[in-house]
Amino acid sequence: MSLKVRSAALLAVLAAVSVVSGEAQAIQPAKVAIINAQKAVADTAEIKKAQAALELKFRPRQQAIESLQNELQNIQKQLNTPNIDPSREAQLRADGTQKQKELQRLGEDLQADVNAERQDILGRSGRQMTEVVKKLAEERGIDVVIDISNTIFFKPALDITAESTAAYDKAYPAK
């Protein structure tokens, strides 16, 4: 009786293994692609145009900062002249302190404004790139797209960065 139970158990195990192995054969391996998302967005015509527009928009403020830096250098040169009158030195130091504060404020304000605009642009472009990559993946039957920043090794044939940038430029032409 013990032999019959063992045989039945063995047959049940073999049947389960064959069912599991049959199911395993039916599951297809996932099709994977790699993207350098940061590069894909940065290389779009829209981003390049936006970068040029930002530089143009903020150029006057950058020039004002450079002008203040030149004024501070001139003040420093005057302070380094030998036998400077003490009242003149005090005035130059006060002017330098005031200009340094102004320079710091202008620099911080400019940086904050540039960062805010850049984040808006990159946020919108990033969302749009995600849509483009999803559509591209669906069209090509890709199951998973992995960003290169989390990848140790991949075959170059898996990289869809350039294709994603081209699809983005087609879907969202620079205005």
Q: Could you give the domains of the chain?
A: 2-171 (3.30.910.20)
Supply the pTM of this predicted model. Answer: 0.70
Tell me, what's the pLDDT at 118?
95
* Residues 129 and 161: beta-carbon distance below 8 Å: no
Q: Which pLDDT tens digit goes with each residue over 90-137?
A: 999 999 999 999 999 999 999 999 999 999 999 999 999 999 999 999
* Residues 141 and 31: beta-carbon distance below 8 Å: yes
* Residues 61 and 110: beta-carbon distance below 8 Å: yes
Residue 120 token pair:
């808006």
- Measure the CA–CA gap between 53 and 98, rounded to whole angstroms: 32
Residue 39 token pair:
């590069």
Q: Which pLDDT tens digit goes with each residue over 147-169?
A: 999 889 999 999 999 999 999 99
Q: Which pLDDT tens digit goes with each residue over 11-23?
A: 444 444 444 444 5
